[in-house]
Amino acid sequence: MKSQTARYLVRLAIMDFKPHPSDARSLLHEIQILLAPFSVEAMNLRVSSRAIEFDVFSSPSLAPEQWISCLEKRGTLLTCRRLDLQEPVIDSVQAITEAKRLWNEERFWEVHEVLEDVWKKEKSPQKEWLQSIILSAAALVHAQKNEQDVVWPMLSQALKLMDQLPSVHWGFSFENLKNWIKNTLNSQTIKVKQV
């Protein structure tokens, strides 16, 4: 069956100023105005220290090349990836490796996505381990959208899961992540740490 809507993840490097999550709403409005002539819709804008990212929904018959050039007024294209097509299945180790790379690029929504399919297939304790990382990434997605009230409970929940797990698994250091979450919760300030 053919999809009625094509969904894309778009990332732009912003050159003229350093955006903050509090700029998400105004940046989304600006992107929506740029895309309006093409009858495509932008939603869910997130701001990292390196880029802005958002979802674009369009007709599957409309090639992204037709609308992507208008976004160059806002920043340099880093990513334009179609999300509604079936992705190849990867194993747990590949997923963790990819999640670490994406985390270090502050691409938290993609961290969540790459780990979710693996999480669904795993058994305990790997399932809880993955869930704690997914929760941490999801909390940071909300931070990138300037939805601070959601961030703290999600990070607290991730920390509770981590406290029950070994400190290192699949080459991922829980101890470092746990310490970062504790410091973040104590300071109520998000300074993203590399993993």
- In whole angstroms, what is the distance from residue 57 CA to residue 40 CA? 6
For residue 62, pLDDT over 50 is answered with: yes
User: Who's near 60: CB < 8 A, 6+ residues apart?
Assistant: 2, 3, 4, 5, 6
**1 pLDDT band (50/70/90 cuts)?**
very low
Q: Which amino acid, 144?
A: Q
pTM: 0.88
Looking at the chain, the whole-number percentage of residues with pLDDT higher than 90 is 64
| CATH 1.10.3450.10 applies to domain 92-187 | yes
What are the domain boundaries of the chain? 6-82, 92-187
Residues 123 and 163 sit within 8 Å (Cβ to Cβ): no
Say what the pLDDT of residue 171 is.
67
Say what the pLDDT of residue 23 is.
94
pLDDT tens track for 101-146: 999 999 999 999 999 888 888 887 778 888 999 999 999 999 999 9
**CATH class of the domain at 6-82:** alpha beta
The end-to-end CA distance of the chain, in Å, is 40
The tokens for 135 are: 């929760």
The chain-wide mean pLDDT, for the chain, equals 90
For residue 6, pLDDT over 80 is answered with: yes
Q: Which amino acid, 25?
A: R
